[in-house]
Structures are given as C-alpha cells and as structure tokens.
Amino acid sequence: MSVAILGAGAFGTALAVALAANGPVTLWARDTSWGRDNPRLPGVTLPAAIRVTNDLPMATGADTLLLALPTQALGGFLADHAPLLDGRHLVSTAKGIDLSTLAGPSTLLAKACPQATVAVLTGPSFAADIARGLPTALTLACADSHAGQALQHTLSTPVLRLYRTTDVTGAELGGALKNVIAIAAGVVIGAGLGDSARAAIITRGFAEMTRLATHLGARPETLTGLSGLGDLTLTCTSAQSRNFRYGQALGARQPFDAATTVEGAATARAVAALADRIGCDMPIAAMVARLADNRMTVEDAALQLMTRPLKEE
C-alpha cells in the first residue's frame, strides 16, 4: 500500500522518516518552504524517499493516509477536505478528545468519511526517538481485523514495531487520557510535592483512565498495554513530554510557550464535560481542567484530592 502522512509537525515528520525505510512516503504540509530540514524536528534531514508536498489532492491519492493533525484541528480539516479522504485507509495519530463534539478522532473520521477504513496509531513514543531510529513499539487499533493486519505490516519497520488490537475505543482513550494525567504529574513535580505524590497521581490517574474507558465500552486489558499504561509511564516521567512540561509550568506558576500544542489541556476540558454527562467520577481530570483554566490553585487542588472521602482501592 502507498503511504502519505498529512501533517508535518514533529510527529508526522518523524513517522515519515521511519516509514521511508520501507519505501517512498509522501509528507503533506501547508507550508513546505523549509525544504528537507523541518524546523519542527531539528537536526533531522529528510531522506530521499520522502516526497514533501503542499498539494493535498496529490497526497491523498495514496492508499493509506496517516493523519498527524492535532485533535482540535481535525474537525475543521475534515469539514474542508473529507471527500478527498473517503474510501482510503485512514490512520489517526492524534491523542485527544474533540472539545466541540466530545468525540475521539476515530469517530470524527468515521462520520466524515463513511466509506473509509479507520484505524488509530498510538502508544509510548517521542518524535525525536522515532526520527533517530530508536526502537519504538506502538499500538495499531482497527475494528476490521483483516485491514488491521494489512496496516500492521505496511506500517511496521525494523525499529518501529506495531501491536494490533480491534479495541479502537480503548486504544484511543488510553492515548488521550494519559495526556491529562501527565499534566497532573507535571503539576506535582513543578509544585515540589515530590516523587511519592507523582506515583500516587500516576496510579490513581490510571484508575480514572480505565474507569472512563470501560464505561465507554473499552476492554480493560487494552488500558494495561502500550496505548494506556505504556504511554502513561512515558509521559508522566519524561521532560520530553509537552504535557508534562506544561504541568510543571502550572505547578511552578511559570509561563509556558503558547505556541506549543498541549493536547492534554483541551482533552481535560472535554473529559470533565464528558464525565459529568455520563456520571463517571474523574477527580484528577476535573482538577487539571480547573488548573488549566485558572479556576483553581495548586494548593486547593492538592487539598481537595487528599481530603476526598476515604475508600477501598
């Protein structure tokens, strides 16, 4: 299958570099003036197998399209360009929940492109690691098991290993919700509350992730895999994570680069609204949403979490 990646941010560019090991790859960007050296991924020169273009109709001629677009931008992109995408294999790499619809990227894709085969690529990964050829394992989720198997072979490389599942809901929510918990973990470290408190946030955050995902139909074992626990571990413990760094800035009351996409902030707001709608208890996610909107101080957040009614684990 021919492959194109729509979106030349750091992650989309890194995937293009990795997949170029398998053969020609098209990388679409609105602005291609940077040539072979994308400033979003410093120090990486694109290999010759990657064709960079701003011609969307040409790029969408590929059999398989990886959409490396932020979740909050995906709806608008689909509203403008869905006819170009329909009927293809569409693989979302976004990790979030759309604020306007409270739906995940796979739902947005399925509604906008009803003839497409939709999949999700997610899991513990940093763009810089993938671009450098460091070993990375990800989850490929596709409800169509035969299409998922074909995509697994197309998108795996000697250093990019994909595990397959049909649980799209679980894989997608694991990738989205871990960003919210990563912000909370960053807040703990930024506020100087210690590693013990971070461990508590990670553990109880994982419980929240599993609670919401299973409420929405996910299989609990999916959350213990790469797309849940694996990604949660990575983003809550590394300063390479934008969400963790954003949380650190919140906890330390420091400014954060407004130009940096922080998927977890919008996702926290969406999760808080969704949890309220369906009656699912998500105290850490609600806390992150309030902190991101300056509706709560770190001190009040810590006090509220620590003084909740005592319960069994």
Measured between alpha carbons, how far is 84 from 58 in angstroms, rounded to an integer? 10
Name the CA dihedral angle for 205, 109, 263, 181, rounded to a multiple of 10 degrees: 0
| Cβ atoms of 45 and 37 closer than 8 Å | yes
Measured between alpha carbons, how far is 257 from 299 in angstroms, rounded to an integer? 23
* CA distance to 112, 119, 294, per residue, from 116 (Å): 9, 10, 40
Catalytic annotation present for 111:
no
Ramachandran class of 58: left when φ > 0, alpha when ψ lies in -120 to 50, beta otherwise: alpha
Phi, psi of 309 (to 5 degrees): -55, 135
Which residues make Cβ contacts (< 8 Å) with residue 268, sequence separation at least 6? 180, 183, 285, 288, 289, 292
With b for 16 or more beta-carbon neighbours within 10 A and e for fewer, the 277-286 pattern comes to eeebebebbb
So which residues are the catalytic ones?
Answer: 178
